[in-house]
Amino acid sequence: MSAPRAAADTPCVAVFDLDGTMTWRDTLLPYLIGYAARHPAHWLRMWRVLPAIVGYFTLHRDRGMLKSRLIRAVMGGDPREQIDAWSEAFVASLKRRRAFRPAALAMLAAHRAAGDHLVLLSASPDLYVPRIGRLLGFERTLCTELQWQKVNSGADRLDGALRTPNRRGAEKSKCLAWLRTQYLGLPVVAYGNSDSDLPHLRQADRGLLVNGNARARRCAAASGIPVADWT
């Protein structure tokens, strides 16, 4: 298995999606469920989850809004140190439970050995994604950022509103364009797993769709983007 390099001995910027690309499955829902399980009193708040889901399917179809409302329902208003403690435990559990695809880790290691710049680009929130980036040795992490509020004591409590756009679809393309300004002249290699990743895979010098479903594979083929299965 070799990385789709732009040219031999030429360093590149290797951009990896997280959920379904580096990992076997989604990370946000297990993160939120685990937090609620750790804080049973929070189950009293969970009635707010249903309106968020109903609103998504019947009103707006805005994934960023849904994400924000789910996070607020589960942990909104909680102190940073409490959330950070769970984030550290959650990320440690990912490694322990072998949540990362071996083939993805192998590709990451190949890029690292080649001296490439490693970037993790995810729509999942900055509550835990930067920690995953540090765990896996990424040079830079870009993900959806959330707002915090300072209370009278000076402590931070989670607001849960999005501080950046939801970094999915066209927003990943904007991130990739920004990365080109940070790594001038270097080719970009990008990996993603869903049809929402195709815009930035097209924008990359080399894109690869991995672990895509049938629809994503059809769309990738129509765009001339190669596909692969990482196990």
* Structure confidence by residue, pLDDT tens digits, 178-231: 999 999 999 999 999 999 999 999 999 999 999 999 999 999 999 999 999 999
- Domains of the chain as residue ranges with CATH: 13-228 (3.40.50.1000)
- DSSP structure class, residue 137: T
Query: Which pTM does this prediction carry?
Result: 0.91
* Structure confidence by residue, pLDDT tens digits, 51-93: 778 777 877 788 899 999 999 999 999 999 999 999 999 999 9
Closest CA to 129 of 66, 71, 201: 71
pLDDT for the residue 7: 45
- Which residues neighbour 96 within 8 Å (Cβ) at sequence distance 6 or greater? none
The answer to whether residue 6 scores a pLDDT higher than 50 is: no
* Structure confidence by residue, pLDDT tens digits, 83-102: 999 999 999 999 999 999 99
pLDDT for the residue 9: 67
